[in-house]
């Protein structure tokens, strides 16, 4: 299995532009999670899906952030308009039915908003 | 309010010695505790976990100890190797499907 795939790996954009991050979870996993990692806040959960349905989006910082999962093999996280404070590494993770809820992470997208 | 706390941002250990990474939590309803390891420019990878009904779990050089009364867990790595240099995240899961992560401890293994 290729693991969780994220694209792009790096994104540099200017303030005010729309940014779309993409994720392909591991086949057969029912859960998909989006995280943001910053020095100040560590690894924070933004939103997660179960069977393509958003379950908890309480971690989404503002209305500028949105996420979709149109099918079991694809999810997007969109920021519009982007701001410099959105600069961070964004991770996607997926999990199956392990009792401890073990998650498998993608390599991340490093976003820089100028 | 942080439910999972790693109070040491960094730790340096001599190669061959024991590395001990600590973690505290506040929610007594957590069912499992997990440790993840992260190298630069990569995503976190699962290392080891422990159920809340156990007090120790061992996997090769890695052992996790859980002290429920103190709401404390620790990860022991022995002997420490250069490839163990990474950021280690402590995490906890409960009845919902989420994992709560600590902010991480950067481990440096010194030659």
B42-95: per-residue pLDDT in tens?
999 999 999 999 999 999 999 999 999 999 999 999 999 999 999 999 999 987
In this predicted structure, the answer to whether residue A1 has a pLDDT above a threshold of 70 is: no
Average pLDDT of the residues of chain B: 95
In this predicted structure, the answer to whether residue B1 has a pLDDT above a threshold of 80 is: no
For strand B10-14 and strand B105-110, is the pairing parallel, antiparallel, or unpaired? parallel
Of B32, B34, B101, which is closest to A42 when you measure between CB atoms? B101
Do B93 and A100 make contact, defined as CB atoms within 8 angstroms? yes
A104 interaction partners in chain B (CB closer than 8 Å): 46
Q: How confident is the model at residue B96 (pLDDT cuts 50, 70, 90)?
A: confident
Average pLDDT for residues A30-39, to the nearest whole number? 94
In this predicted structure, the answer to whether residue A7 has a pLDDT above a threshold of 80 is: yes
The position carrying tokens 């420019």 is: B41
d(CA A7, CA A25): 12
Average pLDDT for residues B27-38, to the nearest whole number? 94
Tokens of B24: 């505290």
Average pLDDT for residues A82-90, to the nearest whole number? 96
Tokens of B65: 């100890």
Could you say which residues from 5 to 44 on chain B have a Cβ atom under 8 Å away from some Cβ of chain A? 31-32, 34, 36, 41-44
Are A103 and A42 a contacting pair, CB within 8 Å? no
Q: Radius of gyration of chain A from Cα atoms?
A: 13
Do B104 and A43 make contact, defined as CB atoms within 8 angstroms? yes
A38 compared with B107, residue with greater pLDDT: B107
Do B103 and A102 make contact, defined as CB atoms within 8 angstroms? no
Average pLDDT for residues B15-37, to the nearest whole number? 96
């Amino acid at each position: 299995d290729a693991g969780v795939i994220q694209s792009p790996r790096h994104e540099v954009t200017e303030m005010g532009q729309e940014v779309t991050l993409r994720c392909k979870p591991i086949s057969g996993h029912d859960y998909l999670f989006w995280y943001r990692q910053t020095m100040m806040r560590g690894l924070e959960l933004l939103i997660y899906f179960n069977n393509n349905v958003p379950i908890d989006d309480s971690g989404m910082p503002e209305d500028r952030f949105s996420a979709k999962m149109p099918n079991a093999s694809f999810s997007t996280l969109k920021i519009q308009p982007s701001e410099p404070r959105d600069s961070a590494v964004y991770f996607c993770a997926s999990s199956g039915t392990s009792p401890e809820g073990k998650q498998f992470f993608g390599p991340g997208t490093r976003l820089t908003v100028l | 309010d942080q439910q999972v706390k790693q109070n040491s941002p960094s730790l340096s250990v001599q190669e061959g010695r024991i590395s001990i990474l600590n973690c505290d939590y506040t929610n007594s309803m957590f069912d499992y505790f997990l440790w993840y390891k992260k190298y630069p420019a990569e995503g976190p990878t699962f290392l080891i976990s422990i159920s809340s009904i156990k007090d120790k779990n061992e996997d090769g050089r890695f052992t996790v100890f859980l002290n429920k009364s103190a709401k404390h867990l620790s990860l022991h790595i022995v002997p420490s190797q250069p490839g163990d240099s990474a950021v280690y995240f402590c995490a906890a899961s409960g009845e919902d499907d989420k994992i709560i992560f600590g902010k991480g401890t950067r481990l440096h293994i010194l030659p």
